[in-house]
Amino acid sequence: MPTYRHPGTTITDHSFRVPLDHADQTGEQIQVYAREVVAVGRERESLPWLLFLQGGPGGRSPRPVGRDGWLDRALDDYRVLLLDQRGTGRSTPADRRTLPLRGDAAAQARYLAHFRADSIVRDCELIRRELLGEDGRWSLLGQSYGGFCTLTYLSYAPEGIREAFVTGGLPGLGSTAQDVYRAAYPRVQRKVEAHYTRYPEDVETVRAVVRHLREREVRLPGGGLLTAEAFQAIGTVLGTGNGTHTLHYLLEDAFLPGVPDRQLSDSFLADVQAHLSYASRPLYALLHESIYGQRSVTPGATGWAAQAVRAEFPQFDVDRALAEDRPVLLTGEMIYPWMVATDPALAPLRETAELLARREDWPDLYDPRQLAGNEVPIVAAVYHDDMYVDAEDSLATARSVRGLRTWVTNEYEHDGLRVSEGRVLDRLIRLVRGEM
């Protein structure tokens, strides 16, 4: 196990072999990577472990340099394990290069069906037993989708958990994918309208960009097709604390100045690509709607729910907004079928994505009865204005989990854990200890 040092920390690499399908312990194995981080000078101490479950799906764990961000607070009390969930980071990859090696699209879809929260939790349990022993318990910190995984963990393996912290990630236990997006579009609209109120000049800039994209074909530096609808997805940045400013500065550079034939600038296109490409996280696009699939909630397919529900919100239609001289609304954390076709990182997986969207009878991810009788101390930060996770769903779930305490705040957006320099985590630690 390679060990090295960063300023104030000692880091150890871990690699684990786990079953692809936990129902078949003797079948195919895949690799899961994790990074152990401990404060310098405390390497030999018997510290409690804190497992960090990253947001996503399909997001790799943070790559820390020293005691930065929330990690600085965590290292005061814990030995931290940063997990690259299966299919991400240094774990066995699942992308446009590796998935075709599995066989045809049907084989690829069957493979990816093992990459949801239920499999991630079972990976964690094998890792826990290897690192802590059969009776060892660790603490969980789940950010966003990591919070979804935490509720799955509490449902099916609570005996492995000492305490749990959730930031911006309490899922609706009984919400379908359609329910999620039906609640999401109005939240996104409010964020976009707030942005236009702050930066009114951006209304015309966005309109000019989408008119430009309607009139000609525009390619991103990596070859992806930038359509008007694809550009609308840039609104996803508005769910972060500095997102409105990030979007404004991006729009400032939209067009090249002093050029007779109006053209979008290379710097603008490069920035747009950085926000919209799924090259570094293909599982986010491929599995995003499946994280809401549960047979006890709906036995049917998720069926490109964001696209289907969008028809109920005609105010997001680009051409209608242009024709009626209204501001063009941007979209948020939605995955549409055309994204797979226009992104070079996803295009080879179009049929696979379609099969996943059509898949029915997804196994349940939560056990409401187990959660109602929960005995694990758990606290959660619920962001009142969260664009990505519905606060009402989160609070309903909080009421359904025995003993769960919430901190509801609009001081931070969805990325509060990352940007608060440890303050969000510190408050949750004090809350779970009964100090607040």
Q: State pLDDT tens for residues 126-142.
A: 999 999 999 999 999 99
The CA dihedral of 78, 84, 86, 91, to the nearest 10 degrees, is -130
Beta-carbon-side half-sphere exposure of residue 202 (alpha carbons within 13 Å): 21
pLDDT value, residue 374: 98
Encode pLDDT of 327-360 as tens digits: 999 999 999 999 999 999 999 999 999 999 999 9
Give the H or E element holding residue 17.
strand 9-19
How many angstroms separate the CA atoms of 95 and 91, rounded? 12
- Burial grade of 133 (CB within 10 A; 0-12, 13-18, 19 or more): exposed
Q: Is residue 386 within 8 Å of 239, Cβ to Cβ?
A: yes
Average pLDDT over residues 52-76: 96
Average pLDDT over residues 365-379: 98
Listed in order, strand segments (DSSP E) in 344-394 are 378-383
Average pLDDT over residues 394-422: 97
Q: Is residue 147 within 8 Å of 383, Cβ to Cβ?
A: no
Q: Is 409 helix (H, G, I), strand (E, B) or coil?
A: strand
CA-only gyration radius of the chain, Å: 22
Annotated active-site residue 361? The verdict is: yes
- Position 1 pLDDT exceeds 90: no
Location of structure tokens 């022993």: 133
Alpha carbon separation from 250 to 119, 156, 204, 225, 419 (Å, rounded): 38, 44, 14, 18, 20
Which residues fall within 8 angstroms of residue 411, CB to CB, at 6 or more apart? none
Beta-carbon-side half-sphere exposure of residue 316 (alpha carbons within 13 Å): 27
pLDDT value, residue 91: 98
Helix locations, 216-310, DSSP H:
228-232, 243-252, 266-276, 282-287, 305-310
Domains of the chain: 3-173+366-432 (3.40.50.1820), 177-358 (no CATH)
Q: Is 176 helix (H, G, I), strand (E, B) or coil?
A: coil
Q: What's the token pair of residue 7?
A: 């300023």
pLDDT value, residue 262: 86
Span between the terminal Cα atoms of the chain, in Å: 40
- Position 217 pLDDT exceeds 80: yes
Average pLDDT, the chain: 97
What's the pLDDT band for 34 if we cut at 50, 70, 90? Answer: very high
What's the pLDDT band for 12 if we cut at 50, 70, 90? Answer: very high
Encode pLDDT of 87-98 as tens digits: 999 999 999 999
Q: Which one of the listed residues 119, 144, 175, 420 is annotated catalytic? A: 144
Average pLDDT over residues 234-263: 94
Q: Which one of the listed residues 266, 267, 361, 384 is annotated catalytic? A: 361
- Position 101 pLDDT exceeds 90: yes
Encode pLDDT of 282-318 as tens digits: 999 999 999 999 999 988 999 999 999 999 999 999 9
What's the pLDDT band for 258 if we cut at 50, 70, 90? Answer: confident
Annotated active-site residue 296? The verdict is: no
Q: Phi, psi (5° rounding) for residue 9?
A: -135, 150
How many angstroms separate the CA atoms of 243 and 249, rounded? 10
Annotated active-site residue 275? The verdict is: no
How many angstroms separate the CA atoms of 423 and 176, rounded? 33
